[in-house]
Each structure stands twice: as C-alpha cells, then as structure tokens.
Amino acid sequence: MKVSYFHVAGEVPDTINGPDGPDAAVVIDVLRATTTIAWALHNGAEAVQTFADLDELRAEANAWPDEKRLLVGERGGRKLDGFDLGNSPVSVVPETVKGKRLFMSTTNGTRSLHRVRDVACVLTVALPNREAVAQRLIRSARTSVDGGKRLGRHVFLGGLLGSRGSRRLPYGRRSHRCER
C-alpha cells in the first residue's frame, strides 16, 4: 500500500489523477471539513457536495429548492456571508441537516477533495469513520492520503489508518511503502 501525505491542497501533484496515480485518495481534515461531512451524513443529510470554487457552489446549489439545501462554508475559520452554516461538526445536527443536500466549501478540506476528484475512489476520513475507511483501504492496492495543513493530528490519523492495513507504517514527509 502506498501512502502519501500532502499537507495542503496546493501540494497535491497534478499527476495524482494520472495513470500512475493511486487507486484511492483519502482526504483528512480532522477537526473541520471531513468531520463535518461525516457527522452531516450520520445525522441524516441527503448528500454533501464539495466545491473549491464558490461560484460553482452557488450555481449548483441554486438548482435545488431552498428548503432542501444548505450552504456550508468558511474561509480562514470564519463562516462565509450568505451561507447557512460555517464548517463545524457541532452545527450539522439532525434538526438542521436531515433530508437536505449540503453544498460545502472550506479553506483546505474541500479544496483537497477538488484536487483528487478524478481518482477512482475518493474517501474522507475523520475519527468517527476511520474504521470503515481503514477497511476500505485494506482492500486497495495503492492509496494516497492527503493530510491537510496541520501535520500532527493528520499524521496521527494517517497512522491509525495505516496500522489497520500493515504491521508498521514508516513516517515521513511524502511517499512511503508499507507492506500488508
């Protein structure tokens, strides 16, 4: 299993979507985007669509009835003007998200998702869904893990994922191989 850590969306190489790219890409933004996505789905959101570009998000969201959609977004940790929610897992409670489609854009997490959008299998991981993602990765031959911008907590979670599929996961800045 090949595991690559890219600490911000801008570090993800363009070749990630090419023929030598991974079978799967995992985006980790532990405290915000991927945790918000996991909890929104757990709490009954119909779907979460992610966007790097705010104009694309608004255009897509406008195709949905107001009562069936929520705009979720932040830049620099601050909720975007005109959006229903910021990027916090505590805001995606069942009373708010159940049965709705969330249109989401964040400083780093959704931009990372945009960078790996053409990989055959794209997964988001957070502490609540780490075991399910780890099981999926065990079945994958090559995997890319995008670690977000704060190294410590993302490498920790990446290590949890890697330890599910191997006896030992070597750590470092970029790509590593680990045996299953």
Comparing 34-38, 160-164, 165-169, which segment has the lowest mean pLDDT? 165-169
Task: Note whether 37 and 98 are same-domain residues.
Answer: yes
Q: Which of 90, 107, 124 is the last residue of a domain?
A: 107
Task: Note whether 83 and 128 are same-domain residues.
Answer: no
Task: Note whether 147 and 117 are same-domain residues.
Answer: yes
Task: Note whether 61 and 41 are same-domain residues.
Answer: yes
**Mean pLDDT over the full length of the chain:** 78
Task: Note whether 101 and 115 are same-domain residues.
Answer: no
Task: Note whether 152 and 94 are same-domain residues.
Answer: no
For the residues 22-30, what does the mean pLDDT come to? 79
Q: What is the pTM of this model?
A: 0.77
Work out the widest C-alpha separation in the chain, in whole angstroms.
49
Q: What percent of the chain has pLDDT over 70?
A: 73
Task: Note whether 138 and 150 are same-domain residues.
Answer: yes
Task: Note whether 119 and 78 are same-domain residues.
Answer: no
Has residue 147 got a pLDDT over 90?
no
Q: pLDDT tens-digit profile of 101-112?
A: 999 999 988 998
Q: Which of 80, 107, 134 is the last residue of a domain?
A: 107
For residue 174, the model assigns a pLDDT of 29
For residue 143, the model assigns a pLDDT of 54
Task: Note whether 37 and 103 are same-domain residues.
Answer: yes
Show the domain range for 16: 2-29+110-177
Q: How many domains does the chain have?
A: 2
Q: Which residue has the tokens 């890319």?
A: 144
Task: Note whether 100 and 163 are same-domain residues.
Answer: no
Q: Which of 107, 123, 144 is the last residue of a domain?
A: 107
For the residues 149-159, what does the mean pLDDT come to? 49
Task: Note whether 124 and 172 are same-domain residues.
Answer: yes
Task: Note whether 87 and 135 are same-domain residues.
Answer: no
Dihedral in degrees, nearest 10, Cα atoms 90, 94, 97, 98? 160
